[in-house]
Structure 1
Amino acid sequence: MKKTTLLNVALSRTIAGMGHGDILVIGDAGLPVPPGVELIDLALTAGVPDFASVLRAVLSELQVERHVLAEEMQKVVPPALVEIERLKGKLGKREWLSHEDFKVLSRSARAIVRTGECQPYSNIALISGVTF
């Protein structure tokens, strides 16, 4: 059995297979998943698991070079943004896109992780870095 924080098989496998520049999206319960993009559905009920818990678990295994957020997040300021600010030292450079452009970017993701988060715009695209 694994000794690290992240126990979900599909998510752990996806992270292990990611290369430099690959994208992993963590999304709220309403973020659409484009055809052809793998869905790792962790949602159980509204709010479970929350965005912050999933982000922390992913960051325990994924080296992140930069991240992308929807500009609309700045107006709504969901709890997800508070957690992102708290973890910004592990997230690399920040980029902002409109929510529509964020959804276009998600078409290039290796996978989209659906959380139970129900606060609007609680989404992040993590672009993987290297550990060397």
Structure 2
Amino acid sequence: MKKNGILNSEISKLLSDLGHTDQITIGDAGLPVPDGVMKIDLALKLGTPSFIEVLEEVLKDMVVEKVILAEEIKVDNESQLDAIHQLVDANEVAFVSHEAFKKQSGQSKAIIRTGEATPFSNIILQSNVIF
């Protein structure tokens, strides 16, 4: 048994398989998962696990060159945006409309569904290389 880091075998494999510019999405409980995209469902109940809790753990294991957020988070969930900015460099952040975000999530290798129940708590992470 693995003794630290991400214990979820699907997420662990997903991160190990990523190449440069591959994308994954971490979403709230309501984010739709497009047909053909793998869903890793972590939601236990509303709020558990939280979006930030999952994002923090994924960022410990993933080299990220860019993140994409819905523009609407700036107005409708400022506290979540502040928490995201504590974890990622603001220069790496691109904002798109929520509709464009949902379309872009269809390019993700997987969408990790959390129990988060606050608006626009979704992020697309684009992988970088470790060298």
TM range (shorter): over 0.9
Instruction: Quote the offset at 1:81 in angstroms.
Output: 1.5
**Distance of aligned partners of 1:36 and 1:110 in 2 relative to their CA distance in 1, 3 Å threshold:** same
- Report the Cα distance in structure 1 between the residues aligned to 2:96 and 2:25, rounded to whole angstroms: 14
Instruction: Quote the offset at 1:77 in angstroms.
Output: 2.1
**Distance of aligned partners of 1:69 and 1:19 in 2 relative to their CA distance in 1, 3 Å threshold:** same
Structure 2 unpaired stretches of 5+: none
CA-based RMSD of the aligned residues comes to 1.3
Structure 1 unpaired stretches of 5+: none
Q: Does 1:124 align with 2:116?
A: no
Question: 48-57 or 74-83, which moves further after superposition?
Answer: 74-83
**Distance of aligned partners of 1:16 and 1:92 in 2 relative to their CA distance in 1, 3 Å threshold:** farther
Instruction: Quote the offset at 1:85 in angstroms.
Output: 1.0
Q: 1:32-111 alignment to 2 at 5 Å? A: 32-89=32-89, 93-111=92-110
Instruction: Quote the offset at 1:125 in angstroms.
Output: 0.2
State the AA in 1 paired with 2:124.
Answer: A
**2:125 alignment partner, SS class:** strand
Instruction: Quote the offset at 1:83 in angstroms.
Output: 1.6
State the TM-score, normalizing by the size of structure 1.
Answer: 0.94
- Report the Cα distance in structure 2 between the residues aligned to 1:119 and 1:78, rounded to whole angstroms: 11
- Report the Cα distance in structure 2 between the residues aligned to 1:35 and 1:95, rounded to whole angstroms: 24
Instruction: Quote the offset at 1:78 in angstroms.
Output: 4.8
- Report the Cα distance in structure 2 between the residues aligned to 1:118 and 1:112, rounded to whole angstroms: 16
For these two proteins, the number of residue pairs brought into alignment is 131
State the AA in 1 paired with 2:83.
Answer: E
State the TM-score, normalizing by the size of structure 2.
Answer: 0.95
- Report the Cα distance in structure 1 between the residues aligned to 2:91 and 2:130, rounded to whole angstroms: 13
Deviations 1:25-72 (A, max 9, x none): 000000000000000000000000000100011011111011000000
